[in-house]
Amino acid sequence: MLQILVVDDDEQMQFFLREALLRQGYGVTVCSTAEDALGSLCRGRFDLVLLDARLPAMSGLVAVESILKTDPHMPIIVITAHGSRDGAIEAIRRGAYDYFTKPFRLEEMEIVIRRALEKRRLIEEIDRLRTDLAATPRGRMIGKSPAMGEVFHLIERAAPTDATVLVLGESGTGKELVAEAVHQRSPRRDRPFIKLNCAAIPEALLESELFGHEKGAFTGALMRKTGKFELADGGTLLLDEIGDMSPTTQAKILRVLQEREFERVGGTVTVRVDVRIIASTNKDLGRAVADGRFRDDLYFRLNVVTIDVPPLRDRREEVPDFVQHFLAEANARLGRAVTRVSPDAMAALVEYDWPGNVRELRNAIERAVVVCDADVATLASLPPVLQAGVAGRPGLDAVPLGTLSTASLDDRMAQLERAFVMDALTRAGGVQAGAARLLGVTERSVWHLVKKHKIEVERIKERAVLSGA
Ligand SMILES: Nc1ncnc2c1ncn2[C@@H]1O[C@H](COP(=O)(O)OP(=O)(O)OP(=O)(O)O)[C@@H](O)[C@H]1O
Ligand SMILES: [Mg+2]
């Protein structure tokens, strides 16, 4: 039961408030003085304080501050006499949540109390989520593959230090989430996490973006502006897309990284900052250095700890988890209730090459949730590229060309082999004998292939059961 502490020296008012609040289902404790109220707050747990602004001895206004010292999130609602609006406003200034002037209507009080309690609940929830987030190494990230295990391991190792981290990986692999996880796990977690897209800053605004400017520094500088480096002071600065940084930007950034200080544009004071740097790019930085497009001195400074986020096609075993995760997310966002994807749709999702990685998968699932009109997303609801991949199976023509573009021949063969075995197993509901028949090989061969490709047959079975196949 939610507990309300009423602080009022007027006996009639005490009685009236106690009765009204009890009727509304709250627990009520009544005190006559602010001193008693502070004592009660120390002894018991309360969710809200209703406080008369004109109490004997310690005034209600001072009491507001004392209460907030014991619990900074305690919602305090102040009751003031008719005509003392100034006192009420002063109470709010000192941190009270809201006020009434006497006489007030009961419904009015009921609404304000409910809103105040709701706000407190939200604050507590945010606190809890934040703690959870910091406590799990993976933060908001999912991924059970060995390759991602290595990523999480590096996040844990790098987070407590101030080392510069370079996050590499194809577009959409989750580099930004990795950077965020490093910050969240670091001692800087309560300080800002600031992002700067290095590719997107126009040259003319560069210095002002990075270092800020003083009022009147140039035409149009009407107000003082704080730059990203200063905003991130005490926290972490993510330099995103560094592979696309212009030579001028590279030189400017190198200077701050070396000296950890700068001047605001149009200013004379030197600003010192304490910022942890994380850089990320989907470009091949080593090659950019070799080609002279990226400064080697900057490269060495950024490349202290490197975290390589693997492309999704190298961790296909995570696709089903991602599908469930993004289904839930899309349902919540779009107010739908698509609970799963059909087995053939899942097979297509697992086999597809995902050049746009996790982001592309997320978009595909969102699209499926929008277009499908039942609680199961079918193959037909997936983007056409995915459907094309399945159409001619199990012929080689059906394999998306992307699969064949990058890896070595052995890798490509292995990928194909794995895709065929996965497909057969999925269609056979996870039964290896069934898959063997579909593939035209012995059961023993299927057993070997499952081991070789680390296919989780149990999961395929679970999915088959879940999807009623
Ligand atoms: N492991 C993961 N768990 C949950 N969501 C993920 C994961 N990895 C990526 N995502 C989601 O995929 C999308 C792309 O991630 P993110 O923006 O971090 O990628 P990126 O590598 O920074 O891409 P780009 O190179 O295009 O900037 C986001 O919506 C993100 O939430
Ligand atoms: Mg990014």
138 Cα nearest atom in ligand 1: 1
Residue 140 lies in a domain: no
306 pLDDT above the threshold of 60: yes
Better pLDDT: 289 or 58: 289
Residue 137 lies in a domain: no
Residue that finishes a domain, picked among 73, 104, 131? 131
Ligand 1 site, residue 173, Cβ cutoff 6 A: yes
pLDDT in tens, 172-211: 999 999 999 999 999 999 999 999 998 888 888 888 999 9
169 Cα nearest atom in ligand 1: 21
Residue 138 lies in a domain: no
Give the contacts of 123 (CB within 8 A, at least 6 positions apart).
Answer: 73
Do 170 and 87 share a structural domain?
Answer: no
Do 321 and 240 share a structural domain?
Answer: no
Range of the domain at 38: 3-131
- Residue 240 CA to ligand 2 center (angstroms) comes to 6
If you average pLDDT over every residue of the chain, what do you get?
A: 87
CA nearest to 192, candidates 281, 276, 279: 276
397 pLDDT above the threshold of 70: no
Do 329 and 213 share a structural domain?
Answer: no
173 Cα nearest atom in ligand 1: 21
What pLDDT is attached to residue 57? 64
Domain of 304: which CATH number?
3.40.50.300
Residue 139 lies in a domain: no
Better pLDDT: 441 or 274: 274
- Residue 326 CA to ligand 2 center (angstroms) comes to 18
What pLDDT is attached to residue 398? 37
pLDDT-derived band at 62, boundaries 50, 70, 90 = confident
pLDDT-derived band at 406, boundaries 50, 70, 90 = low
pLDDT-derived band at 394, boundaries 50, 70, 90 = very low
User: Mean pLDDT over residues 234-247, rounded?
Assistant: 93
Do 215 and 302 share a structural domain?
Answer: yes
Contact call for residues 212 and 169 (beta carbons, < 8 A)? no
User: Can you tell me the distance from the alpha carbon of 364 to that of 445, in angstroms, rounded to the nearest whole number?
Assistant: 34
Do 322 and 272 share a structural domain?
Answer: no
Do 199 and 155 share a structural domain?
Answer: yes
Do 361 and 417 share a structural domain?
Answer: yes
Domain of 385: which CATH number?
1.10.8.60
Do 391 and 357 share a structural domain?
Answer: yes
User: Mean pLDDT over residues 337-341, rounded?
Assistant: 91
Residue 215 lies in a domain: yes
Ranges 267-281, 309-323, 422-436: which has the least confidence: 422-436
Ranges 90-94, 130-134, 357-361: which has the least confidence: 130-134
Domain of 45: which CATH number?
3.40.50.2300
Residue 141 lies in a domain: no
Residue nearest to atom 2 of ligand 1 (CA): 141
Q: Above pLDDT 90, what percent of the chain?
A: 48
Residue 406 lies in a domain: yes
What pLDDT is attached to residue 138? 66
Do 226 and 328 share a structural domain?
Answer: no
Kindly report whether the peptide bond that precedes residue 72 is cis, defined as omega within 30 degrees of 0: no
Do 324 and 286 share a structural domain?
Answer: no
Per the structure, the count of domains in the chain is 3
Residue 181 lies in a domain: yes
Residue that finishes a domain, picked among 278, 308, 338? 308
Based on its alpha-carbon atoms, the radius of gyration of the chain, rounded to whole angstroms, reads 30
Do 197 and 91 share a structural domain?
Answer: no
Residue nearest to atom 26 of ligand 1 (CA): 171
Residue that finishes a domain, picked among 101, 131, 161? 131
User: Mean pLDDT over residues 439-468, rounded?
Assistant: 82
- Residue 239 CA to ligand 2 center (angstroms) comes to 10
Do 297 and 347 share a structural domain?
Answer: no
* Structure token digits, residue 346: 């899942």
pLDDT in tens, 73-111: 899 999 887 667 777 888 888 899 998 888 888 888 899
Contact call for residues 294 and 343 (beta carbons, < 8 A)? no
Element (H, E) at 331: helix 319-334
What pLDDT is attached to residue 165? 97
